[in-house]
Amino acid sequence: MKKGKILFFLMAFLLALVIIDFTILNEEEPAAIPTNETNSLKTHDIEFVVDGNTAVIEYEEEKKVDIKQIVSSEFEEEVINSDQVVVVDFYADWCGPCKKMEPILQNLAAERTDVKFLRLNIDNPEDPGSSGLAEKYGASLIPFLVKYEDGKVVDTSIGLKDKEKLIEFLEK
């Protein structure tokens, strides 16, 4: 009987990994998993019961907030005149690395309320001024992040970065 219990828990664990992987790849939460809010992470419990044996697997998923999209006409008010540290993500909808970095930035925005995160689509046909701003700030390669303090550029970052590198960027 011991082999049966070990096999049960192993299968439960593997199923949980598949659910977690599916959730991360699809960036959506399966409806059957209850959520308990904690600091900057969502805690999920997956419970399996077979023949009276119970296996509970807990994992945490990072919280994310939507980052405000701006257009070029809002740039001065939202960035230059801001009394907060501002990070602008110059991106394009077709940019794969930009899409991969967006959830990382959303997570940082949830954690770092002292920083104002904004996104500017540099290839927006409805906002011709966006390409001019991209040129002005040197956003020829994307994703391109610009950190502003008191309306002035204090640092830039080019390319896809992981969370640790983005935290370093914010700390400079």
CATH number at residue 139: 3.40.30.10
72 and 58 in a common domain: no
Six-digit token string for 169: 């960027």
57 given a catalytic annotation: no
- The verdict on 41 and 103 lying in the same domain is no
Q: What are phi and psi of 103, to 5 degrees?
A: -65, -30
Phi/psi for 106 (5° steps) reads: -60, -40
| Domain final residue, candidates 39, 62, 85 | 62
User: Residue 46 belongs to what domain range?
Assistant: 2-62
Q: Are residues 39 and 99 in the same domain?
A: no
Backbone phi, psi, residue 30, to 5°: -60, 140
Same domain flag for 86 and 147: yes
Write out the two tokens for 112. 């770092």
Q: For the chain, how many structural domains are there in total? A: 2
User: Which residue, 15, 41, 62, sits at the end of a domain?
Assistant: 62
Task: Report in angstroms the alpha-carbon separations of 55 from 79, 129, 143.
Answer: 50, 56, 42
Are residue 54 and residue 134 in the same domain, yes or no? no
Q: 95 an active-site residue? A: yes
Give the separation between CA 42 and CA 63, rounded to whole angstroms.
6
Asked if residue 161 and residue 94 are part of one domain, the reply reads yes
- Residues 120, 75: contact at Cβ < 8 Å? yes
- Residues 156 and 119 placed together within one structural domain of the fold: yes
Dist CA 67 CA 117 (whole Å): 6
The pLDDT, as a whole number, for residue 64 is: 85
Same domain, 106 and 41: no
Residues 46 and 73 in one domain: no
Question: How is residue 168 written in tokens?
Answer: 């370093």
Instruction: Say how far apart CA 27 and CA 61 lie, in whole Å.
Output: 10
pLDDT of residue 71: 97
Q: What pLDDT score does 154 carry?
A: 97
Distance CA 130, CA 139 (A): 11
Tell me, yes or no, whether 88 and 135 share the same domain. yes
Where the chain has pLDDT below 70, the residues are 1-51, 55-62
Query: What whole-number distance in Å separates Cα of residue 140 and Cα of residue 76?
Result: 20
Residues 98 and 121 grouped into a single domain: yes
Same domain, yes or no, for 115 and 162?
yes
Among candidate residues 12, 36, 62, the one where a domain is terminated: 62
Catalytic residue among 46, 70, 87, 98: 98
Catalytic residue among 95, 104, 105, 145: 95
How far is it, in rounded angstroms, from Cα 54 to Cα 87?
46
Q: What is the pLDDT of residue 172?
A: 86
